[in-house]
Amino acid sequence: MSGEFEAAGAIAEGGLWSRVAEPRPGEAAAEGHGKCLNCATVLTGPHCHQCGQAAHVHRSFSAFWHDILHGVLHFDGKFWNTLPLLVWKPGHLTRRYIHGERAKFISPMALFLFSIFMMFAIFSYVGSPGSADSPKNVVTADGVKVSGWREGMQAGMVRLEEQIKEKTMATQALGEDDPSATALAAEIRELKAQVNGLSFATEGKARYPEVLKNGSGQDASQFDLGGEVDTGWDGFDRLVNKLAAKANKNPELLLYKLQSNGYKFAWLLIPLSIPFVWLATLGKRGHRFYDHAVFTTYSIAFMSLLFIVVTLAGKFNIAPGLVTTAAVIYAPFHMYRQLRHAYGSSRVGAVFRLTLLLTCTVFVVTEFMVILVSMGLMG
């Protein structure tokens, strides 16, 4: 159950952080009288015209929980104004928000925070040890319980080990002079190489190190992350060798740090993307970097929500192939519609800018992953 509680907590945290980024402008309340309790300004309505605080403040326990649920679920009633436009008319949403229609929509940063926290919560639930305890989430493969990527690799190693055992016994029964023994030996070597790949990913070392020897008797380098790098720059070599040794020693810790840092520093995607959005929209006058930031943040928020849908479809086996295919097709189409209507581009111009932006996206994601890996190794 720990995974479910962790997921619920992350969603609640995302909602509350979204409320920090998106306060409560325009909410109705009872008429105020007297002075504002926050800044002592004389009240003329349900809100203080000086600081914006509501005239009526509560101190009841039930109202405290109402604020939490309101922050997580309601988004001031803006959610249903924003979501349809975000999904189908992202360019209109971006343009309208930039041009001043902000009270009726969720701000880009609030939506981004909520989607990132929700994505982390979903991933925590899907891959958490607690969720694996449920019988419906455990698959038995050849006597091995499989509930995640690590368990799946271990199950694969069990199957490969059985094949190695069977072929080894068959080789011994044939004798060394039998021509078929040579072919079986090659198959055994290939199976051991596959086991090495899986064991390196889960245990940080090769289970059959003798297979890593090449014909000249020297170690092959495909699994030798702990080897010495020599570029001639002593400081850089020491750093790389130290980081490689850490990754080789505990790959699971590195993967955990990647997942943890991925959601904590997801905001880096925004400043990393803005220059490329500016580059893709060169020639469109009248737009500022603020406009590019709004475009980028709404786009990343939508892609995060889309990724959540794909993950849940795979988790609960709801036409995962169809949902994944639809998402892969719709993601660039969504970017095309947002580019075209947010920046007023023609169809041909939007396609050209989309091609450039998709190319830049590869660089952004690569740069983001390099940062995460570096932080995971140095942390």
Give the tens place of pLDDT for each residue, 180-213: 778 888 888 888 888 877 777 666 677 787 776 5
What does the CA dihedral 187, 190, 196, 197 come to, rounded to 10 degrees? -130
Q: How confident is the model at residue 218 (pLDDT cuts 50, 70, 90)?
A: very low
Contact predicate 138/131, CB 8 Å: no
* Cα 72 from Cα 66, distance rounded (Å): 10
* Cα 221 from Cα 317, distance rounded (Å): 39
Q: How confident is the model at residue 14 (pLDDT cuts 50, 70, 90)?
A: low
- What tokens does 287 get? 């737009």
Contact predicate 296/270, CB 8 Å: yes
Q: What is the mean pLDDT of residues 222-236?
A: 59
Question: Residue type for 104, please?
Answer: K
Instruction: Kindly report the length of the chain.
Output: 379
What pLDDT score was predicted for residue 85? 95
What pLDDT score was predicted for residue 326? 95
* Cα 59 from Cα 72, distance rounded (Å): 20
* Cα 367 from Cα 274, distance rounded (Å): 14
Q: Is the pLDDT confidence value at 67 over 70? A: no
Q: Which residues pair with 326 in a beta bridge?
A: none
What pLDDT score was predicted for residue 74? 56
Question: Cα dihedral sign for 8, 10, 15, 19?
Answer: positive
Contact predicate 181/171, CB 8 Å: yes
* Cα 166 from Cα 164, distance rounded (Å): 6
Contact predicate 14/114, CB 8 Å: yes
Count other C-beta atoms under 10 Å from residue 76's C-beta.
19
Contact predicate 117/14, CB 8 Å: yes
pLDDT tens for 279-317 read: 999 888 888 999 999 999 999 999 999 999 998 888 888
Among candidate residues 162, 160, 216, the one with its CA nearest the CA of residue 193: 160
The CA distances from residue 221 to 76, 153, 362, in Å, are: 57, 22, 28
- What tokens does 35 get? 């002075």
What pLDDT score was predicted for residue 296? 96
Q: Taking the mean position of all CA atoms in its chain, how far away is CA 357? A: 20
* Cα 370 from Cα 349, distance rounded (Å): 32
The CA distances from residue 281 to 23, 272, 300, 333, 349, in Å, are: 31, 16, 17, 17, 10
- The chain-wide mean pLDDT, for the chain, equals 76
* Cα 172 from Cα 201, distance rounded (Å): 31
What pLDDT score was predicted for residue 364? 93
* Cα 335 from Cα 303, distance rounded (Å): 10
Count other C-beta atoms under 10 Å from residue 119's C-beta.
23
The answer, as to whether pTM is greater than 0.85, is no
The CA distances from residue 113 to 19, 221, 246, 365, in Å, are: 10, 42, 32, 19
Among candidate residues 137, 165, 166, the one with its CA nearest the CA of residue 151: 137
E strand or H helix that includes residue 252: helix 251-264
